[in-house]
Every structure is written in C-alpha cells, then in structure tokens.
Amino acid sequence: MNIVTKSILVVSTLTLVACGGSATPSLWEDVITDSERPIQTLVKSSPTTVSRINVRDGFNVRSYSLDGDLQSEDVKDIDTSLYSSLHKAFEGHFYKSDGKVRFMKLDEDFDTKWSYQLGEDDDVASLSATFVSQDADEILFSSINSEGLNVISLLENGELTKQTVIDDSSVLRVESLLMSGEHIYAYGVTNDSPKTGVLYVLDRLLNLVAENDSHSIGFMTTIPEGIAYKKDFSLIAVDSTGNQVWEVDAVNNNSAEKLTTKNNQLYLYNSEKLDGVAGLVIGPFIKAYSVEGEFLWQHNLPSAGIISRVEETAEDRILVTYTKKTESPQVNSGTLYTRHNSTIKHDLLDSDGTLIRTVAEETYTYDESICYMGYCIPTRTAVKSGNDVNMGAVGGQGDDIISLSTTSQVGYTSVLSAY
C-alpha cells in the first residue's frame, strides 16, 4: 500500500537554507509513501516509459510516461521473497533470486516470458557469476558443484542448452563472466591475496579455446572481439587468444572502482578516496578511453563525491550520478555537534566529455551529536528535508533526467522526479 501525490512545479530557483546551494527545479514529481521501507529501483522500461519497481511485498510496478502521467500500476505474480537483482536484458528485463537459484525473463511490461529454476537434481552448491546478453535472449552463469568444481552454463530462450566443467580444483570461483564477439571470457580466481587466477576463453559452444594464468583481473568489460580490464596503474586489453594486445598507462587510477563500456567507449571511474599507495586523495573522476586504448577525456567531479552509477541515456549521452557529502563541526549553546549535508547530483555528458548540464536534487541536512569516550548514543536531528540515496536515474525526453531518490534516515517516502 502506498500513497502517491503528483505535483507539477513552476520553474524557479529554490534557495536551500543552511546548505549553501540551489536545487534544480523539477518538471514534475511524484512523492510516494510506502507502508514499509521499499526495496526499489527505477528502470527505463521502454523508450517512452519509466517504471518504479518495489519488491518489498510482491513485485509492484508503477509505470509512467516521460511526462509524468501514471500509465499503470500492477502487482506481478513473481515471488520476491528471495529477490536478488533486476537487470536490463534483450527485449526486456532479467530477474534473479537467491536461495534455490531462479532466473526469469520479463518483457517490457514485466510479464514473465520464461522462468528457469535449478532443481533438486541439479548439482549446484553455489552461484558465483552471471552475465546477461543485450543482443540475444541468452544468460550465462557460473556455479560451483558439490565436488568444488566450477560449471559454466548457457541459457537460451529459457532453456539450458550448453554446459561445461572447469576441471581444475585450484580455481576457487569464476568471479567474472562475459560474452564478447564470438567468444566467452571467464576469470577463475585461484588466490584472493594477492589476487591470481586463470582467464579462460571459450567459443559459443563452450569449448575451451585458450587459457592464460598471467592476468590478475579485478573487474573487466567488453571490447570488440575481446575484453579490457584494470590492473594497478594500467588498462589492459586481451583478445580471443587470451593474450594481451595493448596496455596503456592509467596514472592516478590505482583506486578506480569500476570499468564499463558505453557508446563504444571505455569508462573508468572512482569516488573520492585516499590512495594508500600514493598517499593522495584521488578522484572523484570519470575517464574515457577508446576501445583501442586511446585516452579521450577526463571529467572531474566536485570533491567529497561518491559515484553510484554511470548510465547510457542515448547514443551519444552518458549520465553520471553521484552524491556530494560534506561534514562540518557546529556549536550551539555550548553543545558540539556535526552537521551533515548530502546532495544527489547528476552530470549529463556528451560522448566527447562535454558537460551538457548538472542537476542537483534537494539537499538533505541533519545534525549529529558528538560523544566523548563513548559515553552516549549519538542522536540525529533533521534540519532540512531532502534525499541522500539514489535508487536509479535514467534519461527522459531530450536532455531531461528522471530520478528516484529516498532518504537513508527516516520514514518510507521516495520522490520520483524529472528535471
């Protein structure tokens, strides 16, 4: 049960009290109050529709036009008690649940197209990695069987069509799994610290083509006919022979958090953090490289930024969503406390790194008491209402941005807004 209030706002600048900034006026918004804290996300369910999904008590779908009109509200017949994740997929969405592993393919209206559940007779002790194709109705997943061996399986249109076992007990788990071109790349970890492993290259029939134990892969992404991955201060590409084809210097990127491919470019990004090796504060930033390893541009974000995601909104647009958090000591009537400000922001960039626009949501501000020697329980007092947790952001009409945000502190209220 939730209560929804829709309001169309007059375009004007709203000055924030005690936050030192201005919120971007919204074009429209829905304020949604749930009876329990929601487990929610926002997806672009079709080119003209966005959907807010809440799986707290059933699979609840609220779909809107890009103008903010509520088009439908429905509860789908999907068991969400073991909900794990929802992903964009070929012509729809991919739903995964934990426990006794279950995969579901949903269409654009979130109706079930097929469902696959590992049965009692399936020799699976745990699931380790999943890859969802955007080009065909294919799902790759890796699991560990009762003998401790890794198994790679392929689902096509909901049917288990191919399977292979990595007959090497030294491989602890397949940590990364990708399809690129005509090949499948699986990175099996053999040791966690320092990280070592084996990169397996398979064909589409899951036959082994090549393997190489010289790579140490934290995260990897697709490039044409191969993969790219980040290692220390380098960005490295590997082809279908399992061998390195290029390596470029990625100075100051040792603390990078993620590597992704959008618009046929590689994006390497991280939130602000202290680099323990260099002793320097690194980021937040996003760097772009061509799929041949050429450095293209870098976009620096405001200090104290925490990047949550990078999304492709159109053929030549990417959307960087981040939260700027600041803290400052305050004194009131002799009482010392800390004031916290959190502002969710969205930077819309062109494919050449040009900043098209920045959107700032309402800043959430609260004061937290300071305890000495652990003699009290810190208390929090809200100063300015707003949101500090973003649950999803997508492109709307033209350069519009649609965002679903909530607060981590109090209440069960979320705001779906267009800017």
Q: What is the pLDDT of residue 408?
A: 80
Q: What is the pLDDT along the chain (419 residues), one digit of tens a residue?
A: 444 444 443 333 333 333 446 899 999 999 998 888 889 999 999 999 999 999 988 999 999 999 999 999 999 999 888 888 899 999 999 999 876 678 999 999 999 999 998 766 666 767 789 999 999 999 999 988 888 899 999 999 999 999 999 999 999 999 999 999 999 999 999 998 888 999 999 999 999 999 999 998 888 999 998 999 988 778 999 999 999 999 998 765 555 668 899 888 999 888 766 555 555 556 688 899 999 999 999 998 877 778 888 888 877 899 999 999 888 888 887 778 899 999 999 999 999 999 999 999 999 999 988 877 666 777 888 888 899 999 999 999 999 999 999 988 767 889 999 99
How many C-beta atoms lie closer than 10 Å to residue 182's C-beta? Answer: 10
Q: What is the CA radius of gyration of the chain?
A: 23
> Which helix (H) or strand (E) covers residue 274, if one does?
strand 273-275
Beta strand residue intervals within 145-225, DSSP E:
150-156, 159-166, 173-180, 183-192, 195-203, 208-212, 220-223
Containing domain of residue 332, as a range?
A: 1-34+308-419
Residue 330 lies in a domain: yes
Residue 347 lies in a domain: yes
Residue 351 lies in a domain: yes
Q: How far apart are CA 363 and CA 131, in angstroms?
A: 36
Residue 298 lies in a domain: no
Residue 386 lies in a domain: yes
| Helix/strand/coil for 366 | strand
Residue 402 · residue 356 · CB < 8 Å = no
Q: What percent of the chain is helix, strand and coil (3-state, nearest 5)?
A: 0, 60, 40
Residue 189 lies in a domain: no
Residue 30 lies in a domain: yes
User: 359: closest CA among 15, 18, 25?
Assistant: 25
How many C-beta atoms lie closer than 10 Å to residue 111's C-beta? Answer: 13
- Tokens 């949903």 map to which residue? 106
User: 358: closest CA among 330, 306, 388, 322?
Assistant: 322
User: 299: closest CA among 233, 355, 357?
Assistant: 355
Question: Both tokens of residue 64?
Answer: 């809107």
Q: How far apart are CA 160 and CA 252, in angstroms?
A: 43
Residue 373 lies in a domain: yes
Q: What is the pTM of this model?
A: 0.86
Domain count, the chain: 1
How many C-beta atoms lie closer than 10 Å to residue 145's C-beta? Answer: 14
